[in-house]
Amino acid sequence: MLHASGRRMRFARSVMFVALAATASATASAQPDPAQPPDEPPAAEPPAPQPEPIAPEPPATTVPTPPVVEPSKPTANLEAPLTIADGTSSRHGFRFGSYGRVIAGTDLRGGKPESANVVAHGPRIVEPSYLELDLSYGFITPAGRLLRPVITLAFDSTLFHETGEFDAQPALRNFYLDAELSTHLTAWVGSRMYRGDDIYLFDYWPLDDLNTVGGGLVYRHVGRRRRVETEQGGNVLEIAAHAGVNRLENDFQFQEIDVANPAQGATTVVQLNRQRMVVSGTASYLIDNGIADPSFKVKVHGEVHALPSGTRRRVDGTFEALPSDTGYLVGAEVGTFGFAPPSAGFRRHANLFMRYAKGLAAFDELAPPTSFGSDLKTARANELSFGASANWDMGIGNVMFGALSRRFTDADGPGTDYDDGWEYALDVRPLARIIPDMPEVLIGADLSYQARFPKGINPTTQLAQDPSVFQVAPMLVYSPMGPSAYDRPQLRVVYRAAFRNEAARDLYVPGDPRRDGRVTHFLGFQAEWWFNSSTYR
């Protein structure tokens, strides 16, 4: 009986072994490995236990797994943004970007260094630290359109490790939603910096530089490309319009006062509530012949500024009626770019700017006007400016250039005011690769000259004086991301000597220590970067 039972158990195990082997063989034959055919299972070892059988599925074509390819390392001439997305499209998903600059140094007298500018927009060789953090997320609608909210958090130069104050002074520089309405039309709504091309060496946007809360439309049409195989070249027409407002927290636009309240004793009410309206329009036409050939750009821009009337209370308790005010701005830009071998990673361009502003538009929209006429309006104020920016990258280095000339007349009428007159600034920054086997290290200097020619006399010295400053700033630059002057990040070691004439020193009141010394110094380190930035490109 026991022998019979043992034989039945051995027979059952043999049947199970054969069944499992057949199942494994069928599975292997149904899903073959295209690279390596399965080896014959060794007869001496039993196969591993198999999972419970499942219902058979219809045969399907097996898609081979693509080979793993090591991602290519970015080269200097890549300009695609560094996006963090889900991998299905570069247009949508999460994106993080940043612009930042940090400066650390000394004035060689034991103090913190300062800029030596005597013009409104001077060279940026010594400038405060600044940081922007860009956050955005792209959504694709069922119709295939892109929606992207953009948030830019900015921090000023208040650094905890420098001041000991745990106060970073943040601000929302961008807070808007960008939406594709059609193939050619885009809309945006929110708070944003609305900018065009800049003069990098002055950190200044000479044509269109708006800070607004509002909305706008952008129409963009791309013509047939000249090189279909490389998708380079073609003509681009872009038309943009925007309307926005601001209300500054000062007594020129907003005021709260306390009034009597029979029930509570006193109540705070809004006495002055004036929003500044800004409407702008821009049209540009781009003839893009590809990076190797000369390309051209023409752009016109206009703005209308308006401020309603209101009434504010003076310090002595009396009330002052503020009239409505208006202003306008018109300007143009012409530029050329290209001229570079396609694979070199060079960025060569030259831009010319002209702008004229009248009335309220002659003053910064983020600050109240600095002067008024007898009618409390800014109608007589005007500003005329001309600017130029250029960059030429070469194998041995690069050269950047910036120039700006500006005439300003305030609103208090014709006369001989010291703040009226012409001013100009010139800046050139040549950098060269002269260290063998270290192309990422450049040596050069920033050379600049600036001067003002006021219509009036200096109110402190009662003399007619023309302030001027000449600056020379040798620097060592580490720029590992490419050969262009615009490639970032960069590390710099900089020494700057600023030579001020007597008129420039007399801009400080008597008793100010900064009035002493013809030469001011800076020695220190600088770092600058930008990537995926919605403002800096």
Question: Hey, is 346 helix, strand or coil?
Answer: coil
At CA 215, angle to CA 214 and CA 221, rounded to 5?
155
Q: How far apart are CA 186 and CA 239, in angstroms?
A: 11
Mean pLDDT value of segment 452-470: 95
Q: What percent of the chain has pLDDT over 90?
A: 75
Give DSSP secondary structure letters for 482-506: -SSTT-S-EEEEEEEEEEE-HHHHT
Each residue of 179-238: pLDDT tens digit? Answer: 999 999 999 999 999 999 999 999 999 999 999 999 999 999 998 765 544 455 679 999
Domain count within the chain: 1
Mean pLDDT value of segment 140-149: 96
Question: Which amino acid would we find at residue 498?
Answer: A
Mean pLDDT value of segment 372-395: 97
**Torsion, CA 424, CA 429, CA 430, CA 432, rounded to 10:** 180
| Residue-level pLDDT at 69 | 40
Each residue of 336-379: pLDDT tens digit? Answer: 999 999 899 999 999 999 999 999 999 999 999 999 999 999 99
User: Does residue 3 fall inside a structural domain?
Assistant: yes
Residue with tokens 């929606």: 147
| Residue-level pLDDT at 82 | 41
| Residue-level pLDDT at 537 | 60
Mean pLDDT value of segment 139-149: 96
| Residue-level pLDDT at 499 | 98
pLDDT class of 429 with cuts at 50, 70, 90: very high
| Residue-level pLDDT at 2 | 37
Output 19 or 260, whichever has higher pLDDT: 260
pLDDT class of 536 with cuts at 50, 70, 90: low
Mean pLDDT across the chain, nearest whole number?
A: 86
Give DSSP secondary structure letters for 249-306: SSTTTEEEEEEEETTTEEEEEEEEE-PEEEEEEEEEEEEE--TTS-EEEEEEEEEEEE
| Residue-level pLDDT at 90 | 63
User: Does residue 10 fall inside a structural domain?
Assistant: yes
Each residue of 56-81: pLDDT tens digit? Answer: 444 444 444 444 444 444 443 333 33
User: Does residue 49 fall inside a structural domain?
Assistant: yes
Per-residue pLDDT at 27 exceeds 60: no
User: Does residue 14 fall inside a structural domain?
Assistant: yes
User: Does residue 288 fall inside a structural domain?
Assistant: no
| Residue-level pLDDT at 226 | 55
| Residue-level pLDDT at 54 | 45
| Residue-level pLDDT at 195 | 93
User: Does residue 197 fall inside a structural domain?
Assistant: no
| Residue-level pLDDT at 534 | 80
Per-residue pLDDT at 1 exceeds 80: no
Which of the residue ranges 443-457, 487-501, 507-521 would you say has the lowest mean pLDDT? 507-521
User: Does residue 293 fall inside a structural domain?
Assistant: no
Q: How far is CA 449 from CA 126, 133, 355, 390, 469, in A?
A: 14, 33, 22, 17, 6
User: Does residue 1 fall inside a structural domain?
Assistant: yes
| Residue-level pLDDT at 265 | 83
Range of the domain at 15: 1-27+45-54
Per the confidence metrics, is the pTM higher than 0.85?
Answer: no
Each residue of 295-304: pLDDT tens digit? Answer: 999 999 999 9
| Residue-level pLDDT at 350 | 99
Question: Hey, is 2 helix, strand or coil?
Answer: helix
Q: How far is CA 88 from CA 84, 97, 138, 182, in A?
A: 11, 20, 12, 21
* Residues in the chain, overall count: 537
